[in-house]
Amino acid sequence: MYGHMILGFCGSPRSGATEYVIKEALRMIEMQGHKTEFYTIKDKEIRYCIHCDFCLQKRGCILNDDLGLLYELLKEAEGIIIGSPVYNGGITAQTKTVLDRTRALVAADPKVFEGKKGIAVAIGGDRIGGQELAIQQIINFYLLNGIIPLNGGFFGANIGATFWSKDTLDGVKEDEEGFRTLRKTIKRFIEYLQVKDA
């Protein structure tokens, strides 16, 4: 019997460090008895939001592409993990596009995200390469949409999980501090999910 459904979203346009970290996070969550789903934007056709207001009028998105499955997963999920590599000091363009396109979900149901729990993960090629700025963009999305943003607490995971990949998959696998921040963040995430069950 599974507990909550948790969605892990990978905002990297290729396989590598971010995909690895998100899958590791989902593995940790599954070990606590929860169901998980993984979604990556890699090889997906996802068009930019054009802010045409079609969704406000028709309660759906005018753009017909590969985002339909993610819409359904986002509605079903009780917890969300958004992970992005750092591009130019922030999240990837693909991640931003997906966050923008969720406007269609909110137009159809203004409470679609209300009360869900969310955590953020950022992977940078440099030790201080914009990870906190990327996480802040994800947290802003959570706050704007009624998702409760969670962190790993003081001493290393104040706003989420951060990794230093050294621009390689091996680099992220060897980042013990990064995995410490992830474990702390996942621990609190699980605790808050269970508050709903108490």
DSSP code string of 54-81? HHHHHSS-S--STTHHHHHHHHH-SEEE
Residues whose CB is less than 8 angstroms from the CB of residue 188 and which lie 6 or more positions away in sequence, other chains included: 150, 151, 152, 153
Domain boundaries of the chain, sorted by first residue: 5-195
The third-level CATH classification (topology) of the domain covering 5-195 is Rossmann fold (3.40.50)
| pTM of structure | 0.94
For 33, the token pair is: 């008895």
- State the pLDDT confidence band at 2, using cuts at 50, 70 and 90: low
- CA dist 166 and 127 (Å) reads 8
pLDDT reading at 1 higher than 50: no
pLDDT digits (tens, 9 = 90+) for 6-16: 999 999 999 99
Residues whose CB is less than 8 angstroms from the CB of residue 81 and which lie 6 or more positions away in sequence, other chains included: 6, 7, 8, 9, 22, 25, 26, 118, 119, 120, 121, 189
- State the pLDDT confidence band at 196, using cuts at 50, 70 and 90: low
pLDDT reading at 159 higher than 80: yes
| Position 92, amino acid | T
pLDDT digits (tens, 9 = 90+) for 37-86: 999 999 999 999 999 999 999 988 999 899 999 999 999 999 999 999 99
Terminal Cα distance for the chain, rounded? 17
From residue 69, alpha-carbon distances to 33, 38, 75, 194 in Å are 24, 11, 10, 27
